[in-house]
Amino acid sequence: MPASYAYLGPEGTFTEVALRTLPEAATRELIPMVSVPATLDAVRSGEVEAAFVPIENSVEGGITTTLDELVAGSPLMIYREVLLSITFALLVRPGTKLSEIKTVTAHPAAQSQIRNWMKINLPDVVWESSASNADGARLVQEGRYDAAFAGEFAAARYGLTALETGIHDAENAQTRFVLVGRPARPAAPTGADKTSVVIWQRDDHPGGLRDLLGEFAVRGVNLMLLQSRPTGQGIGNYCFAIDAEGHISDRKVAEALMGLRRICLKVRYLGSYPRADIGVEDVRAPLPGTSDEEFVTAADWVARCQDGRF
Ligand SMILES: O=C(O)C(=O)Cc1ccccc1
C-alpha cells in the first residue's frame, strides 16, 4: 500500500493546513491534486492510501462536489474528520491597490463567507470561481485575476501580498474536512463518534422522509447533518446524506441502520469515525431506554420469550 495521501491542492489550500493537523500526515507523502474528483479518484484507483477533501462548511453547508463524489461511483469510506476555523486574506500581486482590483477569484464555498465584505469593499468587482482557494492564488500569480481570497499562508507560496487579512462575514466560520479511503473495518469506537450514510427512498409517499428519520428518532439517535442531493434522475428525485451521532458498533445506531436497510431502496454506509467537534466528556447521555445495555437486555428478553423461558 503506497504511504501517501492525496489532497485538494495545489499547495497552500486550507485543506492542506487541515490535513497537516493529523498526526499520521507527518509519516505520509502528501500529494496535491487539482480538484475534489481527482483527489477521490486517486484513492479509488489505488494510487494513494487515502484522500483528504473539504465536505461541509458552517456558513455554506455541504460541499456538493464532495458529497456527489461519495454518493456515486465505487464505495469509499470516511476514516477521520478535521474542523478548521477559516478567515480569508485578500491576496494580490505586490503593488496592486484595492482600487485597481477588477476581478477576484476563490473556491465557490468561499463566496458565502466573504459576500458582505465584498459588497462593501469591492462592490463592482467581477467574481469567478476557482478549483480551490490556493488555485485562485496561483491564477493571480499568473496574472489571470487581480485578486484571490485564500488563506494568508498562501501569499508566500505564490509570491503575493495580503491587502487585507481576517476577512469573514460570520464569526467562527468552520470548514469540516474528511480523510477518505477504500472500504475497511471502521476504527474502534472512541465514545464520541459519528456515522455517515446516504439513503435512497424506495418510493414517493406522504411521510416518506419522516419514516426515514423515525428510524433514528425511535432509537434515540441524534442527527448532525441532513443534506438532500439530486439523484440526476428527474426533478424531485433526491437521495439524503445523513450524519448521526454514534458508532455502527453502538446498538442503537446499528438497529437504526438495519431499519433503514429494510425500508429504503438503498443505503450506502460511509463510515463511523471520531468526532472532531467534541470529546467523550461532552457526549450527551443516552435517552432513557436507549443505552447499549438496555438494547441487549431487551433482545435477551425476546430470545427468552421465543424460547418459552420468560
Ligand atoms: O482548501 C481550500 O483552500 C479550498 O479551496 C476548499 C475550501 C473552500 C472554502 C473554505 C475552506 C476550504
Residue nearest to atom 6 of ligand 1 (CA): 132
C-alpha of residue 133 to centroid of ligand 1, in Å: 6
Which three cell numbers mark 243? 450524519
For residue 288, give the 3-state DSSP assignment: coil
What integer pLDDT is reported at residue 204 of this predicted model? Answer: 87
**Residue 175 near ligand 1, beta carbon < 6 Å:** yes
Q: Is the pLDDT of residue 5 over 70?
A: yes
Ligand 1 atom closest to residue 136's alpha carbon, by position in its atom list: 5
Please state the atom number of ligand 1 nearest to the C-alpha of residue 106.
5
Q: Which CATH number is 1-86+173-184's, of 1.10.10.60, 3.40.1390.20, 3.30.420.40, 3.40.190.10?
A: 3.40.190.10
- Residues 54, 15: contact at Cβ < 8 Å? yes
* Average pLDDT estimate for 207-236: 94
Ligand 1 probe mutation, 127, 133, 169, most atoms within 8 A of CB: 133
Domain 88-167 in this protein, CATH class: alpha beta
Each residue's pLDDT tens digit, 276-306: 999 999 999 999 999 999 999 999 999 999 9
Q: Are strands 238-245 and 223-230 parallel, antiparallel or unpaired?
A: antiparallel
Distance 97 CA to ligand 1 centre (A): 25
**What pLDDT score was predicted for residue 61?**
87
* pLDDT (mean) for 187-198: 98
Taking only the tens place, the pLDDT of each residue in 29-67 is: 999 999 999 999 999 999 999 999 999 999 988 899 999
Mean pLDDT of 160-166: 97
> Is 208 in a helix, a strand, or coil?
helix
pLDDT at residue 275, as a whole number: 98
The pairing of strands 77-85 and 88-92 is unpaired
Residue 180: exposure state from Cβ atoms within 10 A (0-12, 13-18, ≥19): buried
From the CB of 133, is ligand 1 less than 6 Å away? yes
Kindly list the domain boundaries of the chain, sorted by start residue: 1-86+173-184, 88-167, 185-310
d(CA 225, CA 243): 5
pLDDT tens-digit map of 229-276: 999 888 988 999 999 999 999 999 999 999 999 999 999 999 999 999
Predicted confidence (pLDDT) at residue 222 exceeds the cutoff of 90: yes
Q: First CA to last CA across the chain, in angstroms?
A: 53
CA of 186 to the centre of ligand 1 (A): 27
302 alpha carbon – ligand 1 mean position (Å): 51
Quick one: CATH architecture of 185-310? 2-Layer Sandwich (3.30)
**How much is the pLDDT for 52?**
98
Is 39's C-beta closer than 6 angstroms to any atom of ligand 1?
no
Segment 76-131, tens digit of pLDDT = 999 999 999 999 999 999 999 999 999 999 999 999 899 999 999 999 999 999 99
Same fold, 1-86+173-184 and 185-310: no
Instruction: Give this prediction's pTM.
Output: 0.95
Q: Can you give the pLDDT at residue 2?
A: 54
Q: Is 272 in the pocket of ligand 1 (CB under 6 A)?
A: no
Residue nearest to atom 3 of ligand 1 (CA): 13
pLDDT number for residue 60:
85
Confidence class for position 13, pLDDT limits 50, 70, 90: very high
Report the complex ipTM: 0.96
pLDDT value, residue 108: 92
3-state secondary structure of 232: coil
Confidence grade of residue 1 (pLDDT, cut at 50, 70, 90) = low
CA of 161 to the centre of ligand 1 (A): 19
